[in-house]
């Protein structure tokens, strides 16, 4: 669990932990809300003052753990600018939804052992409140996103610097954009005082 020590400036690593933790809960919430796995595969947990759901599927847990572990390294190394969750049809591989999260480093000072200096650091309560607002939007997204009628799968894309260290299990990919009838909705953002995360969901409208 990522925490902020009272009265201390948040570190780059501490901020990275908060961002990674958000992605864990965010991706799980999208998986549940969009019905990629059966409801019985999820368990309820309390986080950010909300009731959220986490997958109990061992395979999905292992996949996400590997991704989030690498994400943490890239954020600390300042080598990643965006994480994208792509939902596509299992049969046709057509991209149906694209959840994009831009990760921006707001202020930093490498001379101070990776402490990120800001005029006013946010409190843990303020950060959690902002993240909760994003999570509520993910939950509410079912009100405007089209039904996913076909069996779907998901993949995670990472936009990293050219000189970033990339494990062998990660492969180059195209942007997996939605090629027709695309719409997009900008979601809320949150800031740790060190990183700002902007969220956007793009989706394919039906052919009607």
Q: What is the CATH number of the domain that holds 128?
A: 3.30.900.10
Residue 7 placed within a domain: no
Helix (H) / strand (E) containing 132: helix 124-140
Residue 116 placed within a domain: yes
Provide the domain count of the chain: 1
Expressed as residue numbers, the domain containing 73 is 12-204
Residue 136 placed within a domain: yes
Nearest to 96 by CA among 52, 24, 155, 37: 155
Report yes or no: 46 and 135 within 8 Å, Cβ to Cβ. Answer: no
The 10s digit of each residue's pLDDT in 82-93 is 999 999 999 999
Which of 45-49, 101-105, 173-177, 199-203 has the weakest average pLDDT? Answer: 173-177
Radius of gyration of the chain (CA): 17
User: Tokens 């894309």 — which residue?
Assistant: 157
3-class DSSP state of 44? strand
Residue 4 placed within a domain: no
- Confidence class for position 108, pLDDT limits 50, 70, 90: low
Which of 75-79, 122-126, 163-167 has the weakest average pLDDT? Answer: 163-167
3-class DSSP state of 36? coil
Residue 129 placed within a domain: yes
Q: Give Cα 150 distance to the centre of its chain.
A: 24
Per-residue burial over 42-53, b if 16 or more Cβ lie within 10 Å, else e, is beeeebbeeebb
Report yes or no: 55 and 31 within 8 Å, Cβ to Cβ. Answer: yes
Residue 75 placed within a domain: yes
Residue 21 placed within a domain: yes
Residue 6 placed within a domain: no
CA distances from 79 to 153, 158, 198 (A): 27, 10, 17
pTM across the whole model: 0.88
Mean pLDDT, residues 182-191 taken together:
94
Do β-strands 95-105 and 80-89 pair in parallel, antiparallel, or remain unpaired?
antiparallel
């Amino acid at each position: 669990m990522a925490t902020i020590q009272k009265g201390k400036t948040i570190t780059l690593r501490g901020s990275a932990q908060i961002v990674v933790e958000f992605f864990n809960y965010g991706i799980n919430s999208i998986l549940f809300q969009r019905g990629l796995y059966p409801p019985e595969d999820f368990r309820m947990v309390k986080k950010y003052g909300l009731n959220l759901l986490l997958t109990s599927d061992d395979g999905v847990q292992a996949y996400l753990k590997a991704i989030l572990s690498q994400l943490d390294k890239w954020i600390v190394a300042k080598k990643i600018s965006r994480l994208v969750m792509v939902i596509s049809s299992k049969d046709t591989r057509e991209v149906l939804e694209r959840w994009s999260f831009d990760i921006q480093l707001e202020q930093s000072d490498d001379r101070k052992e990776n402490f990120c200096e800001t005029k006013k650091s946010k409190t843990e309560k303020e950060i959690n409140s902002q993240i909760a607002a994003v999570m509520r939007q993910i939950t509410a997204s079912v009100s405007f996103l089209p039904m996913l009628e076909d069996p779907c799968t998901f993949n995670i894309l990472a936009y990293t610097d050219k000189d970033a260290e990339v494990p062998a299990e990660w492969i180059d990919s195209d942007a997996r954009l939605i090629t027709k009838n695309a719409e997009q909705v900008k979601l809320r953002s949150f800031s740790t005082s060190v990183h700002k995360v902007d969220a956007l969901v793009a989706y394919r409208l039906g052919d009607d």
